[in-house]
Amino acid sequence: MDLKETEISTKEAFHGGFINLHVETVMLPNGKTASRELVDHRPAAAAICINDEKKMLLVTQWREAIKQLTLEIPAGMIDASDVSPLDAMKRELNEEGGLKAEYWEKVAEFYTSPGFSNEKLHLFYCDTLSPVANKLDLDEDEFLTAEWYSLEELKNLLTEGKIVDAKTIYAISVWENMLLTGSEG
């Protein structure tokens, strides 16, 4: 059975600064039609940042959509001025951690929530970190703190339900696997 849906029409419902919402009418595999509410979202980059003490950098910030503070790996949207996802991540590491990395490796790229959004996230691993000479300022509407966590601390935070961000949960899993297989940096 062909599972593909075919777009019949689309209507923009909202046009924003970094997301757009549109409603599509689609033809289903059985010939019936349905509506799909879809979010167009700019791509983003995130990083598993590991220091010399084998700790991962996480930032704490308020997320209004869920009305709570979250612990997340450094991440941010890819701007038009960024040449590549890695350039965006280097900028974000500077802004959010005041750091630069000598070693970078692309780990994965994935869609954050393909049921309703086309946001693609590019995930990197970095280590060999050092402070930057000229730290970039956070965006004017961005407030966060940064802290380092060991794998054991991260696993405890996961068990306690204190890390709820999917990209961060995935990043912790990837880092643990890298440590187990000896493929870290």
Poorest-pLDDT segment among 44-53, 80-89, 146-155 = 80-89
Q: What percentage of residues in the chain have a pLDDT greater than 70?
A: 98
| Per-residue model confidence (pLDDT) at position 31 | 95
| Per-residue model confidence (pLDDT) at position 185 | 66
Torsion sign (Cα): 83, 88, 89, 94: positive
- In degrees, rounded to 5, the angle at the alpha carbon of residue 128 between the alpha carbons of residues 151 and 148 is 35
Residue 140 appears among annotated catalytic residues = yes
The predicted model scores a pTM of 0.92
What number of residues does the chain have?
A: 185
The whole-number average pLDDT for the span 2-26 is 95
Task: Write down the catalytic residue from 53, 140, 152, 160.
Answer: 140
pLDDT digits (tens, 9 = 90+) for 66-93: 999 999 999 999 998 889 999 999 999 9
- CATH level 3 topology of 42-181: Nucleoside Triphosphate Pyrophosphohydrolase (3.90.79)
- In terms of Cα–Cα distance, which of 99, 52, 40 is closest to 74? 99
Q: Where are the domains of the chain?
A: 6-40, 42-181
d(CA 108, CA 105): 9
Tokens matching residue 53: 């003490």
pLDDT at 135 over 90: no
Mean pLDDT of the chain: 94
pLDDT at 111 over 80: yes
Sequence-separated (6 or more) residues with CB below 8 Å from residue 69:
60, 61, 62, 63
Grouping H, G, I as helix, E, B as strand and the rest as coil, residue 90 is helix
DSSP E strand boundaries for 132-184: 144-149
Q: What percentage of residues in the chain have a pLDDT greater than 90?
A: 85
d(CA 47, CA 72): 10
Tokens matching residue 107: 């780990």
Tokens matching residue 69: 């503070």
Where residue 13 falls among pLDDT bands split at 50, 70, 90? very high
d(CA 178, CA 126): 12
